Amino acid sequence: MATKLLLAFAICRLILTVGLTLKPKELLHLGFDGQLSVDPADVDYASKDFGLLTRVEPLAVFHPSSSLDVARLVKAAYWSDQGFTVSARGHGHSINGQAQTPNGVVVQMSGNGIGPRPRVRAGDMYVDLWGGELWIDVLRSTLEYGLAPKSWTDYLHLSVGGTLSNAGISGQAFNHGPQISNVHELDVVTGKGELVTCSEEQNSELFHAVLGGLGQFGIITRARISLEPAPQRMRWIRVLYSNFSAFTRDQEYLISLNGSQKFDYVEGFVIVDEGLINNWRSSFFSPRNPVKISSLGSNNGGVLYCLEVTKNYYESTAASVDQEVEVLLKKLNFIPASVFTTDLPYVDFLDRVHKSELKLRSKGLWEVPHPWLNLFVPKSKIDDFNRGVFKGILGNKRTSGPILIYPMNKNKWDERSSAVMPDEEVFYLVAFLRSALDNGEESQSLEYLSNQNLQILRFCDDDGIKVKQYLPHYATQEEWREHLGSKWDRFHKMKAKYDPRHILASGQQIFTPTFLTSSNTASW
């Protein structure tokens, strides 16, 4: 009875705020098994995200228990008179309010007791997942069968629907492609409230539009993900470079290899100060014997580049790992004295960032603003980017977070998806994953880092480096049109077909909800 009363109160608030053609009694009879909440704690939680750069309070928060729950809510929004928006939220790891909405309901897809549990079909090598399932829980479920998804993100405490709405990338993407290249089937709730099953063979237009579609065409409530036999352990290796050309040449060589004689994970990052080099090393050895950049023979203005690779293996194949790794490393041109290596269980490597999270939380350094900037940079311009950004804008200034850089093969990405990438066969992810700290250091303040991001984008524009933002954020449709480029026309057409009232994912600021009048669209 209490739940029903709370639901009635939430619906009445929506009606008073935005207006509905449906009567409250009719909404109560929609058959929600989940909970529509206006509890201040729920609303506050949904109004924030990992970026802590934007705060927008929704009218209510919906905790669904099934795909049908989500469909009923969206259908009510679609048929409402004045309308209200619906934004799906997973683990809330967005940076610029992409999962927020000021005019409607946030659907909290992740959380205890929300949605069905993973269903592994070991014989068919796939797993069916609720859209709000976190990848760490996916891993735990599939490992019970000795299986695992092929492609990952570096941080596993993200939702399935969230990463598939972007792309889902990490050091395995060169080999297996992004996560969106490893999906067999989806259940999607469109902006009309229709629950549609889609795949390559069935409703393929919607299938490809939703993958990398930023939540614009539907809410992913189920995903069928491809699996492979899970390795038991990993050899984890890091080596350093002072020469950027040698570093990128080796990375590009490694992602060109085929068959079993290759590394299974290839990433890298930039080290711009002494503090980071020892933070980099501490994952492997005790920091009691600090490494000095000068001791590694760097004449690169205090900038070093780290190549990070892994080799998967089973206990039964452990004897051959040393030789396989040695053969691969012999072909690379890193600083000889800089090899650091360790062996660890497969799960520990995949979930390594969570361990860092726990340390940062204990110091109060996790829930701080994160002015992240993620860019796809064409291979032909990566040297110019190094010159202008790593050595120029950043120089050897202190930084407050990792700067990732690694290449990917475009032929592992499906051009039919909505994901946007540079028009070259090889392109780099460059990710500035920094935290803004209120510690008195100007170079770590939110204002400084935000301005530096703008400076980086301005340099790329002035230098003709046609970067594409990953996890993009733009304030105007004109900027979105430029970002999507040749995909804009299809993107616009799919929006009109599957979400004609622009109900979904309004926090992305791509389309204005049709029920908003010209007098109150200034924030869009």
**Which residues are annotated as catalytic?**
93, 154, 267
Q: Say how far apart CA 254 and CA 263 lie, in whole Å.
A: 7
Q: Say how far apart CA 292 and CA 339 lie, in whole Å.
A: 14
Torsion, Cα 288 294 300 306, to 10 degrees, reads: -30
Strands 233-241 and 304-313, by their bridges, are antiparallel
Q: Do residues 437 and 382 make contact, with C-beta atoms less than 8 angstroms apart?
A: no
Q: Do residues 329 and 241 make contact, with C-beta atoms less than 8 angstroms apart?
A: no
Q: Do residues 371 and 388 make contact, with C-beta atoms less than 8 angstroms apart?
A: no
Query: HEC states along 298-360?
Result: CCCCCCEEEEEEEEEECHHHHHHHHHHHHHHHCCCCCCHHHCEEEEEEHHHHHCHHHHHHHHH
- The torsion angles phi and psi of 432, rounded to 5 degrees, stand at -95, 95
Q: Of 125, 89, 90, whose CA–CA distance to 105 is shortest? A: 89
Q: Say how far apart CA 343 and CA 322 lie, in whole Å.
A: 11
Angle between helices 477-484 and 488-498 (to 10 degrees): 120
- The torsion angles phi and psi of 292, rounded to 5 degrees, stand at -100, 135
Element containing residue 221 per DSSP (H, E) = strand 218-229
For the chain, the residue count is: 524
Residue 6: what residue type? Answer: L
Q: Do residues 61 and 106 make contact, with C-beta atoms less than 8 angstroms apart?
A: yes
- The torsion angles phi and psi of 397, rounded to 5 degrees, stand at -70, 155
Q: Say how far apart CA 179 and CA 166 lie, in whole Å.
A: 9
Task: Write the DSSP assignment of 89-138 as a string of letters.
Answer: ESS---SSSTT--SSEEEEE--STT-SPPPEEEGGGTEEEEETT-BHHHH
For 128, 360, 373, 483, 490, the CA distances from 493, given in Å and listed in that order, are 29, 44, 29, 16, 5
Q: Say how far apart CA 191 and CA 501 lie, in whole Å.
A: 7
